[in-house]
Structure 1
Amino acid sequence: MSLRPPQPHLATQLRAEAGARLVLRGVAINALLAAVKFAGGIFGNTYALIADGAESLLDIFSSSLVWAGFQVAARPPDANHPYGHGKAEAVAALAVAGFIFAMAGWVGYHAVHEIITPHRGPAWWTLLVLAGVVVIKIVLSRQMAAASEEAGSTALGVEALHHWSDALTSAAAFVGITIALVGGKGWEAADDWAALFACVVIAFNGGGMVMKAMGDVMDAAVAQTFENEVRSLALTVPGVIALDKMRMRKSGLSYLVDIQIRVNGSLTVRAGHDIAHAVKDALIASARHRISDVTVHVEPAD
């Protein structure tokens, strides 16, 4: 028999569902952009746009992984996963980062091939396509970054970086094609060099994404300022004299807290329990901190 998820996990579920909807919108936009880029690359004779189109196809697949991660992360705790399924979100982000590295290698290999293979220069109108792509990708990146900050989502943060790297690669292609058009004969490979430069940018961003996702998977410590805020909140609970140890870890879209409080040593067990419960309720009730579970250990102050 399944139990109704407690309120903090319900809030996590709602954040996961909102993130999944935003990712699906990005998938639809990437599908449209991929078609436009491939058409522009083939008919405009520019490999930079074809490489950009291939990246958009990979974006669709990687975004689908993020969407699947959100679907799993939205599930409430169960007998096999008492802390919930939040880690699925970080695992999905890690998988996407891996695909980004693979994409950088694929694009780089083919860019080198195009550089050493003589070919015609790109068409001028491909610049219009790239300009539109850059604008769309910057808008998507900002929306994803804002949603990531609001939901505390590593996967959405990775998606935001992914869209930003797309904007950078398209901008590099724009510069390369412009150089090829202005330079004329002998500069046909400028857009291919731009695609090669884009690979470096993609790989660099991929490294940042891996570190961020690995931090969640390996239960890295939260920022000290964030921990201090939670400590201050716990100290406002009546009956809490001091705090000893506190550990926090991120689990998907929420945080898990282990905290040790000190209370008056002459209090009864019942009174100490009530204070501990009040601390737990206060931390979970703080929507800003997105805490889904708290374990409180009580120690006498004297």
Structure 2
Amino acid sequence: MSQEKLAIRTVIFSMLGNALLSGIKFLAGIFGNSFALIADAIESLVDVFSSILVLIGLKYAQRPADENHPYGHGKAEALITFLVVGFLIVSAVTIAYQAIQNIRTPHEGPASWTLAVLAAIILWKEISYRFVLNRSKKLQSSSLRAEAWHHRSDAITSVAAFIGILIAIWGGEGYEKADDYAAIFAAGFILYNCYLIFRPALGEVMDEDTHDDLTAEIRKVALTVEGITGTEKCFIRKAGMKFHVDLHANVDGDLTVREGHDIAHDLKDTLKKEIPELGHILIHIEPFD
């Protein structure tokens, strides 16, 4: 199965799971009188829409290179990540605003059975987080990483809701607002995760080169090619799930232009074979005595 298809299946898994959990949380929050659960449901609902955006971005990023986009359309994935962050910020602000309104208004405490619902949700979201995060690392996908952190932030907000409801139940009269303070904490954590998601995507758009491990692997593979005596500059840019490379390679300075050209092609083909996640590769031959 291709990287792109595997990524799309992972997003669909997240989207269906979030849609189901959002409905469960809304019902439990309404009938269990817990705004923290309703806030949690709002986040899950926003995650469904953000998953749709990620899905669109992944499909668009699959488009092959063309005359106007010689390096392909992989940058679309990072741009979609920005939209996902925007959705998360809106949901965090909405949750915090409504929680503050609830704190100002006296209301009944949450039902005890909502704790069982939250415990099951926390377990499922943590499993989902680890599953999607492993896929994001395997596929080198920034949007899948954002998707994974949606699950982790959802798990954390559910933990906050659990603690808030537990305090409200144990404390009894006068502690009903603990549920709402838990929702405010959840909103703050969502905003913190927004930064964690936004920063790598921004680096990708700005062609930030922080791929030291990949650089080392490229240099190591290059030395296995006959005729290559060493490497100099190695610049890497990430676009979607592919890495575009500019590499300066050393060869014998007495070789003919054609011989140097053939070695460059051998190097390019070897890098493509040994490191499949590489996209466009530009080899510059440096004469070395």
Tell whether the structures are fold-level matches, with TM greater than 0.5.
Answer: yes
Alignment-derived partner of residue 130 in structure 1: 118
Q: Distance in 2 between matches of 1:30 and 1:173?
A: 17
Contact 1:17 1:71 in 2 (8 A): no
Runs of 4+ more than 4 Å apart: none
Q: Distance in 2 between matches of 1:94 and 1:232?
A: 35
What is the correspondence of 1:19-168 to structure 2 with a 5 Å cutoff? 19-168=7-156
What is the correspondence of 1:129-278 to structure 2 with a 5 Å cutoff? 129-278=117-266
CA-CA distance at 1:225 after TM superposition: 2.5
Contact 2:28 2:37 in 1 (8 A): yes
Query: 2:72 is paired with a residue of what secondary structure?
Result: coil
Q: Distance in 2 between matches of 1:65 and 1:187?
A: 39
Q: Distance in 1 between matches of 2:228 and 2:133?
A: 37
Question: Scaled by the length of structure 2, what TM-score is found?
Answer: 0.97
Contact 1:17 1:74 in 2 (8 A): no
Query: 2:268 is paired with a residue of what secondary structure?
Result: helix
Q: Distance in 1 between matches of 2:67 and 2:40?
A: 45
Alignment-derived partner of residue 6 in structure 1: none
Q: Distance in 1 between matches of 2:156 and 2:58?
A: 27
Query: 1:236 is paired with a residue of what secondary structure?
Result: coil
Contact 1:176 1:194 in 2 (8 A): yes
Contact 1:284 1:293 in 2 (8 A): no
Contact 2:222 2:230 in 1 (8 A): no
Query: Which residue identity lines up with residue 15 of structure 2 in the other structure?
Result: V
Q: Distance in 2 between matches of 1:299 and 1:25?
A: 48
Alignment-derived partner of residue 296 in structure 1: 283
Query: 2:100 is paired with a residue of what secondary structure?
Result: helix
Give the aligned CA root-mean-square deviation in angstroms. 1.2
Query: Which residue identity lines up with residue 10 of structure 2 in the other structure?
Result: L
Contact 1:168 1:198 in 2 (8 A): yes
CA-CA distance at 1:152 after TM superposition: 0.5
CA-CA distance at 1:72 after TM superposition: 0.6
Query: Which residue identity lines up with residue 286 of structure 1 in the other structure?
Result: E
| Unaligned 5+ runs, structure 1 | 1-10
Contact 2:103 2:180 in 1 (8 A): yes
Q: Distance in 2 between matches of 1:210 and 1:65?
A: 15
1:285 corresponds to 2:247: no
Q: Distance in 1 between matches of 2:17 and 2:135?
A: 17
Give deviations 1:1-37, integer Å, cap 9, x for gaps. xxxxxxxxxx8xx212211111112111111111111
Query: 2:228 is paired with a residue of what secondary structure?
Result: coil
Query: Which residue identity lines up with residue 233 of structure 1 in the other structure?
Result: V
Contact 1:169 1:201 in 2 (8 A): yes
Q: Distance in 1 between matches of 2:67 and 2:156?
A: 45
Contact 2:246 2:283 in 1 (8 A): yes
Alignment-derived partner of residue 5 in structure 1: none
Give deviations 1:117-153, integer Å, cap 9, x for gaps. 1000000111111111111111111111000011010
Query: 2:284 is paired with a residue of what secondary structure?
Result: strand
Aligned length, in residue pairs = 289
Identity across matched positions, percent: 46
Contact 1:17 1:70 in 2 (8 A): no
| Unaligned 5+ runs, structure 2 | none
Contact 1:242 1:262 in 2 (8 A): yes
Query: 1:221 is paired with a residue of what secondary structure?
Result: coil
Contact 2:211 2:236 in 1 (8 A): no
Alignment-derived partner of residue 7 in structure 1: none
CA-CA distance at 1:242 after TM superposition: 2.0
